[in-house]
Amino acid sequence: MYFCSRNMENNNTSKMGIGGLLRRLLPFVTPYRWLLVATLTLTFLGSLMAQVNAVVLDRAVDRINALLHLDGGFQWAEAARILVIISAVLLGKEVLAALVTFGQRIFGEKIRINVSRDLSLRVVDRILTFRMAFFSRDGNEPGKLQTRIDRGIMSLSNTVKNFFIDILPLFTSAVLALVLMYAANVYVGLVATAIIPVYFWITTVQGRRMKGWRHRVFGTHQQLSHGILNIIESMGVIKSFNRERVEADKQAALQEQSTDQQMQTRRISFLYEGLKTFVEQIGTVLIIILTAYLVLVNYPGMSIGKIMYHVMLFANVSAPIRQLHRIYDDLNDALVYAEGFFGLLDADAEVEKSGEWKVESGERVQGRFELRNVEFTYPSGTHALRDLTMTIEPGRTTALVGLSGAGKSTIVNLLDKFYAPDSGSITLDGVPLGEWDTQVLRDNIGLVLQKNHIFSGTIEENIRYGRPDATRDEVIEAARKAYIYDQVMALPDGFDSNATQLSGGQQQRIAIARMFLKDPPIIFLDEPTASLDAIATEQIKNSIDAIKQGRTVIVISHNIGQIIDSDCLYVLDTGHCVQHGTPQEVYRQGGLYKEIFDASARSMNVDKIADTLA
């Protein structure tokens, strides 16, 4: 009847440095290896061309200097020929360099854009596999998650740009320039080389000192994003209580904190950047002094042209130094955001673990749930269920009754595998729930909540979400069963209208229509008619009563009419099951259920209703 297999995977997330960051990015870059080869080839050609100016200036200065000291006097014809050659070489080089740079940047940008897309798709695929517990943890609020993902993708794609479009050309050019300097004069090459480690050391110290401040800035950005999202979502409440100033002050305090943190990071950054610029200029001065001295003492191979030659080559060596502070800052920012981003990809403990118990083709899930000694605590620390034992009989309607916070919705969350119990066992048709294939389980469950999410799109698209392969006629029939068809057809665009513009009660009917379209053997109803008027409630109740036949139904409601129609009910109090049986039996027992029932009857003015109907 069933088959089962288990797959387990364990990944470890650890702190990463720049080398680790590049290793994590490599799998996203290697699919574009031919683009990478083209980019690197053009980078090498561009680096060769970057040295042309120095070589041409070296030769030109020496040739012009020789013309000035000819015994026969200055020769204008030879000078003009030299200038024409210089102009042709430099202009031709600039044209080729522009084409090479264009190609190198186009290929590099294509790699960046593709990697950004792949990172985005990978993280979306990943978060869709997470258990609901992940999203209820502190720090995983929607605004903070969005900031972590958006800034992670942005910083990682910028890392690709920095490495393949900025760093590689600069450092390839620097290495070639340094090689040419050593070839011309070893002493000058040694002076240029000695400056580099000093600069790198200063940059490393800067990165270590600023890392903590970057973490603080990142955390504040998350709070700001979450705060703005919370304001937008709570606008009705804010305005009804005239709390605009309160919310504005909260955001102002966060913005002030963010401003102070950013200014502190800038102060540190500017201090080290000034120090690095000073070191770079010392290198230039030393090159000029040394080459001038070697010319004055007639050192072999040194000439006036070589002074300009070495100064220009050192400029090519120091070009990465001038850019390094910006790129290094970006890389350190990427490290901060990458830890959060790759933390999502590595969060195996948060992934829904699913066995592979499946029903065979044509077989129907019966819907018998058994909970034995179940304990459950939410990530927030709320102890929701305590030693809970109950049985949900197949083909019958079971009501869960209790005051707010008693654990009713938590039971539904556990049965739908949104969460896993801390201890105890839950089985469906005799099979441990954890061994069920999650997709198969949820394909057989219809869920209607008190507040159901409506996706951006048309009404038809939202109803078809219950079964994507449904025909238009089946969508219409589901809408009729949910008593929303007439209201939809009254809209200018009918089923093509924007579903998010519907009222709360209409959106609730759309959610119920989804459930009708899905037609599952198990139905969970969590306050399904809470947003509906009395007539709509009766209509939906009649439709639900019809679809209940032969199905396992769990209903959570404060509506007496829905509770009293159930075959069995369980009364919960702070996570415990305190009463169970048929509605009539439990009422006769007295206790919490009788208190709830009588209070509901009084709140409805049952006596006056009876007098009115008499």
Rounded mean pLDDT, 453-482: 89
- Where along the chain do its domains lie? 18-350, 365-443+524-583, 445-519
Do 18-350 and 445-519 have matching folds? no
Tell me whether strands 568-573 and 397-402 are parallel, antiparallel or unpaired: parallel
Give me the pLDDT at residue 531, please: 63
Residue 307 CB partners (closer than 8 Å, separation 6+)? 288, 291, 292, 295
> Could you tell me the sign of the dihedral formed by the alpha carbons of 257, 261, 267, 273, in that order?
negative
Asked if the model's pLDDT at residue 133 lies above 50, the reply is yes
Least confident window among 329-343, 438-452, 480-494: 329-343
User: 324 pLDDT band (50/70/90 cuts)?
Assistant: low
Pairing between β-strand 552-556 and β-strand 397-402 as defined by DSSP bridges: parallel
Residue bearing the bigger pLDDT, 332 or 33: 33
Contact yes or no for 111/164 (Cβ under 8 A): yes
Give the chain's mean pLDDT: 81
450 pLDDT above the threshold of 80: no
More confident residue, 427 or 17: 427
pLDDT confidence of 308, banded at 50, 70, 90? confident
Q: Which residues contact 559 (CB under 8 A, 6 or more apart)?
A: 529, 537
Spatial CA neighbour of 280 closest among 318, 312, 311 = 318
CATH fold of 365-443+524-583:
Rossmann fold (3.40.50)
Q: Which has the closest alpha carbon to 568: 553, 579, 554, 583?
A: 583
Q: What is the pLDDT of residues 345-398, one digit of tens each?
A: 887 766 776 667 777 656 778 899 999 999 999 887 889 999 999 999 999 999
pLDDT at residue 382 in the model: 87
Burial of 458 (0-12, 13-18, 19+ CB in 10 A): middle
Q: Which of 167-176, 247-256, 520-529 has the lowest mean pLDDT?
A: 167-176
Query: Is residue 5 over pLDDT 70?
Result: no
Q: Which two tokens stand for residue 286?
A: 């030393």
- In which residue are the tokens 């590689």 written? 168
SS3 label, residue 500: helix
429 Cβ contact list (under 8 Å, min separation 6): 365, 366, 367, 368, 394
- The CATH class given to the 18-350 domain equals mainly alpha
CA distance 291 to 311: 9
HEC-encoded secondary structure of 353-383: CCCCECCCCCCCCCCCEEEEEEEEECCCCCE
Structure tokens at 437: 């294939």
pLDDT of residue 496: 92
Instruction: Name every residue whose Cβ is closer than 8 Å to that of residue 527 and which is 6 or more positions away in sequence.
Output: 449, 450, 556, 557, 558
DSSP code at position 448: E
Q: Is the pLDDT of residue 4 over 60?
A: no
Statement: 445-519 belongs to CATH 3.40.30.10: no
pLDDT of residue 245: 85
Q: How far apart are CA 521 and CA 318, in angstroms?
A: 71
Confidence of residue 9 (pLDDT cuts 50, 70, 90): very low
Q: How far apart are the first and last CA of the chain?
A: 56
Query: In a 3-state reduction of DSSP, which class is residue 605?
Result: coil
- Residue 526 CA to residue 521 CA, distance in Å, equals 17
User: Band of the pLDDT at 257, cuts 50, 70, 90?
Assistant: confident
